[in-house]
Structure 1
């Protein structure tokens, strides 16, 4: 499966945890009817966490009422906006099925979604996007290129890409694309990796199915990747938590009166360790699940502090048309820890996508590392990611990002500003190099180290080069 929202029904209200990382909401409530405006006012007065009074909302249009709450998660959707938002929740889009990245003035294909139009015609990760329908992309931003590639389902786009210096042309028909929310891989013997990109309505079932496949392949510890996962349906978080916790509470939900409504977990234990990858875009349902599994001693968190969205929304269809998403509760972890505007601090703090993955891998018991870098794409034990600054080639010499090199070697990196020296320490071994040393390359604000020196310093670190590809290993 190619790499790369939790629901509870109560009184006809769908509870939702969602922080959308990519959906841009543009208010369209200016044309709302008087009935819709009054219905929104009544629902906000009755349910919103801040308990607004009629005097606070009187004589205001829908967008004015919503703005007055200073709540980024309460929103009104007309029918078209709701359709777009629903597609976002379920990770379904109309397009050609590629993920893009910008690097050195060009826009490249970072990933191709399985079974998408782009996949079917042979577009590959690493392709440089050149033009669409004869319109050059030179000097265009990623947003500009997205506009050129987008279109209605069933229409076609003539896309030109550059691959290894060769120009290739493809005619691609746009269609509805479902982005896989679960992807898995065995990183090393017994060390499994499962990435969850969104808590869709089917995420619980998909995680269970893929987890069982990993277990059949000898899973002894799991790296669960929730980085950049903005949340989703509550029931999905409950289902996934139930895969690791026999009986307990997912979170404590508190409404505006202070009433505590615990969300229960009922499931089974797993006989192996779990390490959860998190970052600043890990939000909402992702924080709900991460906080619960850590509180129960099931998992440790690796990466960066999470976003800090600890409030719950209800989706309320209006009888007069449209949907109101309104904040109704705040949640706390099983041990009562606040999440909203605070976030979850990782047990092991690391920056950089690859460095975080390696740290989680090693914490899960992994030992053998194999990394390769080409054209801004870094692959670590089969997991691909965009990390343009991971390596550099200068005058036929290869340099690896110093932080990444230290992580690959399993060494701790420190910098002495007074003496302008870098130190890599591993056990009793300490290696120091001055900032002005020719084997240190500082460019574009990034510090890199000659790979030959890294391999010389640390036993077990290996490297090889071929054209524009650098391979690094550690055992």
Structure 2
């Protein structure tokens, strides 16, 4: 909002200048440099009728500069920069709990194992109502997280409502350095190793090294690497990770602003693992570096859907006021010099995980509970009930909206199966039960077709 206000002011003041002292004509043109910007800010300060500070104007001007750059370059205020670094690095001072907003409360999803939050006894479902005696009901998740985090060694007091306990419970917890592990893994029943990497943060390489050691001890060499919805992360992390998998040769090429190309290489003599890599439209940046390197080096099969297409590299620069900037400095190319930016990585095997309902509910008339039809009644509610019963496998004549004896018997059987009073009347309770049943039936199958294909591919090798 502040940026929009400042930009609007700049547009307005330039109109004023067209008839004032900074008028530009054919004989004299005002040079637009930093001094020009300074004059604009000074003019606004002296003449603007609203309430705005010089700091706000300067920050708005800086933000305006970044609006002229690509969508991945950005400017961060001190508070924003702190949150950015936390999200990317995976390390922060805190208590180690995952939170969300639910029913107006900041609610604990789960405490992270081995952290102060877990040791103190915080439980999933706990509602946090205060931080250091400040009421946080209704605040955003980001704001709550910012209040709970702090320097390691300092204390934070959390007020919690817990189901079954009338009074607020208070926890005084000493913060520690929390290191987020972005990897989960398991050994599947078929003997394949499964590794899910949610982000290439500063802890990815070390955690993956430990997981691969476990797999090596069990002689597991066929791995599924799941990068779906992984937005990316640190360039050096993904390069280090790829050195476990990519044979000797290029991993990625970095094309800099001046046109020079820097190549990062692997020194791995003989790849140990056979890979299937899962990607989708949420796989971006470092995830695409990973997928591109595996695809070009032919040490694995890429499965899923087209990736996002972010093929640029950003440099993060801290500023003296505690803020920071992220600026695009290069473009990366796959080992075979393929462009990724605005293109993406096309999987070797395209598999869609469809989420379409089995039934188009919009074509079924609503059971609106305005009456209780029985034999002989005609209407859309009867038609809706007949259609639902037919889909659910009950014997009815062709749905026509006429409540006949066949419909009566079908409703009686449905009522009996649902544990309801079985008397053949389409009462309100039965209408609710039919609606609930068809909604459940219509839900898409939660079958992970992409994962199934990965298993199939690896087991064939």
**How does the TM-score come out when normalised to structure 2?**
0.57
Would the aligned equivalents of 1:190 and 1:219 in 2 still touch at CA under 8 Å? yes
- Structure-2 separation of matches of 1:302 and 1:435: 37
Rg (Cα) greater in structure: 2
- Structure-2 separation of matches of 1:135 and 1:75: 32
Would the aligned equivalents of 2:179 and 2:203 in 1 still touch at CA under 8 Å? no
Aligned position for 1:156: 156
Q: 1:99 to 1:239 in 2, by over 3 A?
A: same
2:440 aligned with 1:448: yes
Aligned position for 1:129: 127
Would the aligned equivalents of 1:308 and 1:344 in 2 still touch at CA under 8 Å? yes
- Structure-2 separation of matches of 1:318 and 1:103: 36
Greater helix share, structure number: 2
CA drift at 1:180: 1.9
1:256-298 CA-to-partner distances (Å, cap 9, x unmatched) read: 4544433322224444432333344432112111221123223
Give the 5 Å matches for 1:71-150.
71-76=70-75, 85-102=84-101, 108-124=107-123, 126-129=124-127, 131-132=129-130, 142-143=141-142, 145-146=144-145, 149-150=148-149
Q: 1:130 to 1:207 in 2, by over 3 A?
A: closer
Please tell me the root mean square deviation across aligned C-alpha atoms, in Å.
Answer: 4.5
Greater strand share, structure number: 1
Unaligned 5+ segments in structure 1 are 1-25, 31-54, 353-402, 404-412, 422-433, 455-475
Would the aligned equivalents of 1:293 and 1:299 in 2 still touch at CA under 8 Å? yes
Number of residue pairs matched by the alignment: 328
Unaligned 5+ segments in structure 2 are 7-30, 38-57, 365-386, 394-432, 446-461
Kindly indicate whether structure 1 or structure 2 has the higher relative contact order, using CA contacts under 8 Å at least 6 residues apart. Answer: 1
- Structure-1 separation of matches of 2:233 and 2:310: 12
Give secondary structure in 2 for the equivalent of 1:214: helix
CA drift at 1:196: 2.8
1:321-353 CA-to-partner distances (Å, cap 9, x unmatched) read: 97653312112223343322333345344448x
Give secondary structure in 2 for the equivalent of 1:344: coil
Give the 5 Å matches for 1:217-256.
217-256=218-257
Q: 1:119 to 1:77 in 2, by over 3 A?
A: same
Give secondary structure in 1 for the equivalent of 2:441: strand
Q: 1:148 to 1:254 in 2, by over 3 A?
A: closer
Would the aligned equivalents of 1:100 and 1:109 in 2 still touch at CA under 8 Å? yes
Would the aligned equivalents of 1:303 and 1:349 in 2 still touch at CA under 8 Å? yes
Give secondary structure in 2 for the equivalent of 1:330: strand
CA drift at 1:207: 1.7
Give the 5 Å matches for 1:176-187.
176-187=177-188
Give secondary structure in 1 for the equivalent of 2:233: strand
Q: 1:109 to 1:299 in 2, by over 3 A?
A: farther
CA drift at 1:74: 2.7
**How does the TM-score come out when normalised to structure 1?**
0.55
Would the aligned equivalents of 2:105 and 2:129 in 1 still touch at CA under 8 Å? no
Give the 5 Å matches for 1:386-425.
none
Give secondary structure in 2 for the equivalent of 1:123: coil
Give secondary structure in 2 for the equivalent of 1:337: coil
Give the 5 Å matches for 1:10-409.
59=36, 63=62, 66-76=65-75, 85-102=84-101, 108-124=107-123, 126-129=124-127, 131-132=129-130, 142-143=141-142, 145-146=144-145, 149-150=148-149, 153=152, 154-162=154-162, 169-175=169-175, 176-201=177-202, 203-303=204-304, 305-315=306-316, 324-346=325-347, 347-351=349-353
Give secondary structure in 1 for the equivalent of 2:70: coil
- Structure-2 separation of matches of 1:323 and 1:94: 20
Would the aligned equivalents of 2:106 and 2:129 in 1 still touch at CA under 8 Å? no
Q: Which deviates more, 102-111 or 281-290?
A: 102-111
- Structure-2 separation of matches of 1:147 and 1:311: 30
Give secondary structure in 1 for the equivalent of 2:62: helix
